[in-house]
A and B are shown apart, each in its own frame.
Chain A
């Protein structure tokens, strides 16, 4: 009479666990990476809002008033979730009468950075407003 064999052997159970672990690990890693990317996208959106706002001020400032600074005139309330962060405005004279203004936002202790460059030309105090 044949013995009735039911259930799973130890090797079968271990193999099943191994497959399950691999699938869960891969899925979870992809899930975490996706969330990480979304977070980075949100951070960049905030940083570029601050940069774009400061660029609007830079576009309107008198040419001679453009100086390097670490403070954004437009305010940085929108950058509060990135705290601690740092801002900087760098000025470089490309050629006589033309300045390159580089606006920078840094966060995560300098590990992440967003930059925007604005070119300004000396129009001689134009009456444009």
Chain B
């Protein structure tokens, strides 16, 4: 229950802050406009029937002079979207929600990829079909909102490459 209250509180806080963030940034000396964040083509994978979750992947490039942070994400296909970290350590798969989001250093890159950081689509509204595109939005602390289109790759695709042979 306290988890739910906290989630709601965080969501409310983010909702309140998100529109204000770009405005604040613009008043700053070096505005971290959405232009300072570049995204590689985003992708996800077709889901097996009955799957309630999927992972979203892309690389964030921060061309700005200040560090920025991906604080939240939404998508038309999922009721809940979280930013997760995943790793296989000593043969054990571990996954964590990053409640503070994902920081990208000034001039740095952050890769969201299978087996690592990813966008987690939870409570999918419908299965994802190979070949379609699904819309989403990312919210950065400084750069604000960015629209993102996830291309749906085959089940088991290792990356966004189009030359996957399966």
Partners in one complex: no
